[in-house]
Amino acid sequence: MATIYRTLDLFAKVGIIRAVEIGDGCKRYELCLGREGGLNPNRHFHLVYAKCGSVIEIDVDLLRLLKSKLDELEFEMEDIALIISGYCRECRYDTG
């Protein structure tokens, strides 16, 4: 296990993957590089369910919209993270 974690840390250090912490005490690793070696164009965001602790990934075109606005402002984005916390249907209605 130690070898795996050292390898993950090395990959993160050289920019192949990135560690994502979403507040649940667990690290997740995601691919940083796209096919051309740039930032992964298939970025996604995380929904964190506050009561049951589930985490799901959602793909939205928000990044493309944001990038066009940043280009207008001549701002070079280095990274972005968006975590949305809330409740699923079952947790909203669970009284226990």
Sign (positive/negative) of CA torsion 23, 19, 58, 71? positive
Q: What is the mean pLDDT of residues 68-86?
A: 81
Domain of residue 38: give its range: 2-93
C-beta separation of 23 from 81 below 8 A: no
Query: Which pLDDT belongs to residue 7?
Result: 94
- Judged against a pLDDT cut of 80, whether residue 96 lies above it is answered with no
Q: Which amino acid does the sequence have at 80? A: I
Q: The domain spanning residue 42 has which CATH number? A: 3.30.1490.190
What is the count of structural domains for the chain? 1
Q: What is the pLDDT of residue 58?
A: 78
| Residues in CB range of 1: below 8 A, 6 or more apart | none
pLDDT tens per residue, range 20-53: 877 777 788 888 765 554 555 556 677 888 888 7
Across the chain, what does the average pLDDT equal?
78
